[in-house]
Amino acid sequence: MSAIHQFLAWSALCAELTFKFENLRRLPYLVVDSLFGLIILTFITSQWPNISTNFWAAIHLYIEQLETLITWLTNNPAGLKLNDALNTFLANFFFYHIHLWKTYVTVFEHSLTNWLLIVAFGALGFSVLVAFLSDFLRVLTVHIFCFHIYTHRLAKVSCTAFMGLGRAFRSKKWNPLRRRVDSVRLDVRQLFIATLAMIILLFLLPTIIVYFVVFGTLWLFVDSVCRLLRHLARTIRQTLIKL
């Protein structure tokens, strides 16, 4: 049930549909919202070829710009000297995911389901249509969320390991039971291995942090747009209720 609750909390569309279902007695609100939705739907229908062409052209341009961004990261961006081996590995990893995303977008682009969903949710009301666009944008840019999660986890593990190795270098260790830093005795071999691992990780951290910042910024932008659409849907709903 927790997964279902998380999905309902995440989806703007589910929130709007749930609100409508719980307020079926507010007939004026439902009628006005549906009327606005049908007006917008009529406009979308009349301009659908142009809207569809421009929308998917923007998506493909976005993919190209993302590939250009990753290529830029592999060429020591802003004068930063990144680790070549790790940089190449991460770039190839993300290029492969972008290739998969291209296939994913192509399936969406040539699917009539999108058109049918827009018609269906447009008929349910303007606020529902805006909420659908918010969720549709999240689904369409799910790769950015995945990139952000990958780099966030990698950065978190790397920083945690670096701090642990730094404590080992100072003959300290973290005690998870007492939740404090205790002293520890290390022999020369253990201290050498810890120091060597810390130095290696120190040279890898700038590359990891650069990727984390880049994809974190991209996800912040996409998430802000989706939240703005969700807030717009909520504002439309509250405004129509007051009419």
Check residue 120 and give its pLDDT.
64
Domain count, the chain: 1
Distance CA 121, CA 131 (A): 9
Check residue 214 and give its pLDDT.
92
Distance CA 98, CA 63 (A): 8
Check residue 112 and give its pLDDT.
57
Domain that holds residue 34: 2-242
Across the chain, which has 243 residues, the per-10-residue mean pLDDT values are 57 80 78 84 80 84 89 81 88 91 80 62 78 85 90 92 79 69 72 84 91 93 90 84 72
pTM above 0.85, yes or no: no
Check residue 150 and give its pLDDT.
94
